[in-house]
Amino acid sequence: MNAVGIDVSKGKSMIAIMRPFGEVVVSPFEVRHTDSELSELAGLLKSLDGETRVVMEYTGNYHAPVAHALHEAGIYVSVVNPMLIHDYGNNRLRRAKTDKKDAVKLACYALDRWLSLPEYLPEEGLMLKSCYRQYEQYVKLKTMLRNNLISLLDLSFPGVNSLFRSPPKADGTEKWVEFIAAFWHCECVSGLSEKVFTQRYEKWCRKNGYNFSEAKAAEIYAAACGHIGVMPKTDTAKLLVEQAVSQLRATAAAIATLQKEMQTLAASLPEYTVVMRMFGVGPVLGPQLMAEIGDVRRFHSKKALVAYAGLDAPPYQSGTVDVRSRSISKRGSSSLRRTLFLVMSVLLQNAPEDEPVYQFMDKKRHEGKPYKVYMMASANKFLRMYYAQVKAYLNALEVA
């Protein structure tokens, strides 16, 4: 048996090959992530006598080309959680840290866990997950840009963002942002008579596809006259607001485009119809769930999926101490927990009496459980139902 430990970094990896009882097959060596060098590595590993298994850590996207190349070459590859490797074998006083030592540590881990190493399988929904990762980044950026624009408006047109309640359009545009692009300073409104502003506002609404309300025009005019713009009405102030609006518009448009693409990719997956039938899951949250969970059959049980989401509460027992009530581990995907929390929020807002998850949530709420406790407990139940329904559907498709 040949245990291969690969310490992956950007563009290159350190390789260590070991056998039982500490036998070093090949001294640790470095391989670049090029097609030729990875092919040579695969050829070397296939030429070794006995069974060969490769172990590496999840390292963002750095490990992907190595794992894919070796898997395609027919070599058993296992990609493990870095936390497992970090906590393995730290029984030395001298904590040296080099790529060679890390590769040897991975090889030793492979020897100790030989029979339980999970096999690496390329993700079927890789593009969907990649889209969701970009979507998350753009949502964070939009929040930052939105707060930046509101901060600027506090100096030029205080409170204008709170005057509009219209939901965003399909392309991501928001009414208050479009309004600010045209009336970027409170003096752009208060410097006009109410009649003239009302006429201009009506023309602006028609041009941008919004419903006109004379009462809303009066409300905006009163708000503009009741505030003082600390930032003077200058070309520089206009430039700052226009740039902030432009960046926010571009980010919102990117988010809308990614949402459409995620919907298209999710619709091509076999479990799409089952997931979309679940209450609380819509065209936005459905693709997010499928992106984070992937193929449920890669989890050996529903408990494994719950643990992957970080919603499990590990037992704690020592001597006479046996703690039954513990916090969730949060050792899993934070993105999945966030999506599940949003699904539970939809259930809580709509309160469907015939839904098992809401019935469970309502029961826990009436028992006096805190808000986060019954929300996460309900998310746990929802995830178990998701696992059972989707797995049964996929297995039925295979039989058919």
Q: What pLDDT is attached to residue 91?
A: 65
* pLDDT, tens digit, 9 for 90 and up, residues 110-121: 988 888 888 887
pLDDT of residue 171: 86
Burial track 8-23 (b if 16+ CB lie within 10 A, e otherwise): beeebbbbbbbbeeee
Percent of the chain scored above 90 by pLDDT?
A: 55
Residue 86 pLDDT:
82
Which of the pair, 40 or 319, is modelled with greater confidence? 40
Interval 202-215 mean pLDDT = 92
Per residue in 165-203, pLDDT (tens digit) is: 888 888 888 999 999 999 999 999 999 999 999 999 999
At 92, list the tokens. Answer: 């030395």
Q: Report whether pLDDT(243) > 90.
A: yes
Q: Is residue 54 exposed (0-12), middle (13-18) or buried (19+ Cβ within 10 Å)?
A: buried
22 pLDDT higher than 90: no
Tokens (6 digits) for 244:
């902030």
Calculate mean pLDDT across residues 146-171: 91
pLDDT at 64: 87
The reported pLDDT for the residue numbered 93 is 62
Is the pLDDT score of 70 beyond 80? yes
pLDDT, tens digit, 9 for 90 and up, residues 342-381:
999 999 999 998 999 999 999 999 999 999 999 999 999 9
What tokens does 334 get? Answer: 């934070």
Task: Give the three-state DSSP class for 12.
Answer: strand
DSSP for 290-356, please give it: HHHH--GGGSSSHHHHHHHTT-----EEETTEEE--------S-HHHHHHHHHHHHHHHHH--TT-H
For residue 5, give the nearest of 57, 48, 41 by alpha carbon: 57
Q: How are beta strands 316-318 and 321-323 bridged, if at all?
A: antiparallel
Q: How far apart are the first and last CA of the chain?
A: 39
124 or 330, greater pLDDT: 330
DSSP 144: H
Output the pLDDT for position 331.
82
Cα three-residue angle 267-271-274, rounded to 5 degrees: 100
Dihedral over Cα of 343, 345, 346, 350: its sign: positive
Mean pLDDT over all residues of the chain?
89
Average pLDDT rounded to a whole number, residues 79-108: 82
pLDDT score of 366: 92
Residue 87: is its pLDDT beyond 80? no
d(CA 178, CA 245): 8
Residue 323 has pLDDT above 90, yes or no: no
The pLDDT tens digits of the residues spanning 266-322 come to 999 999 999 999 999 989 999 999 999 988 888 889 999 999 999 888 777 777 777
What pLDDT, in 10s, does the model give residues 325-341?
Answer: 778 888 888 899 999 99
